Amino acid sequence: MAKRKSTRKKYPGLLNQPMESHQTPSEILMGADKPSPENRAKNFQQFFQRLSLLFEHYGLRMGEFEKLALELARAHVPGFRYRGPDERKRGAPQKWMPHKSFELYADVNALIRQKAKREKRCSVSQACRILAETPRYAARYKGQKHKSLLRRYQEVALKIRARWSGATKQSSGGDPAAVLIDFLAMPELRGKS
């Protein structure tokens, strides 16, 4: 498994180093909540130095806290970043060809008919679960989750019903072979809708 890249932004110099606590061991042992005034001054000096470097790093004047907050949000919070038109979402691209849609439709309906012959009812959702989880169908639906198959089935069933009702009114005369040929040629199934 590949390691994920760190989203943590690298800063130069002191901004990449933690501050040192200036509290004496006796202050720690005595349970003092606050360091002595001298040590507090040292802590503040470190903090102010890094704060000034942070403003400089983002090209801001000291005191522009709202702008600094927005710059830090853009640098560290994914929701504040813009994705360009050329950047794609993470994960592998989905590859689903028209013949796979028809195979899924045919397999789901075949499973429903098989179960009906055995006098067992089988819903479309149950058939999709069988396709996703049964080794017999592993090569065809490898890595697909049952909900993804169900969604794809519903999409293709809607398109087939629309084509079928249109085909009965058109030249095919309701011929299932003609509807199948029309279905496989559908530009919507090839991603050209």
Residues 6+ apart with CB under 8 A from 112: 122, 123, 124, 127
Total-model pTM: 0.43
Residue 1 lies inside a defined structural domain of this protein = no
104 in Cβ contact with 152 (< 8 Å): yes
Q: Look at residue 127 and tell me whether its pLDDT is greater than 70.
A: yes
pLDDT averaged over every residue in the chain: 76
d(CA 19, CA 158): 62
- pLDDT, residue 64, reads 92
- Please indicate, yes or no, if residue 108 is contained in any of the structural domains: yes
- Say if residue 123 is in the same domain as residue 178: yes
With CA atoms as reference, report the closest residue to 131 among 156, 103, 155. Answer: 103
Does residue 6 lie in a domain region?
Answer: no
Amino acid identity for residue 124 in this structure: V
Q: Are residues 150 and 177 in the same domain?
A: yes
Domain boundary among 80, 115, 135: 80
Q: Which structural domain, as residue segments, surrounds residue 55?
A: 14-80
**pLDDT surpasses 50 at 182:** yes
pLDDT digit string, tens, across residues 86-117: 666 666 656 677 778 888 888 888 888 888 78
Rounded distance between C-alpha atoms, residue 94 and residue 101, angstroms: 13
pLDDT digits (tens, 9 = 90+) for 19-55: 887 766 666 556 666 777 787 788 788 888 988 999 9
The structural domain count of the chain equals: 2
Residue 191: is its pLDDT beyond 60? no
Q: Of 80, 106, 132, which residue constitutes the final position of a domain?
A: 80
Domain boundary at 52, 80, 108, which? 80
- pLDDT recorded at residue 26: 64
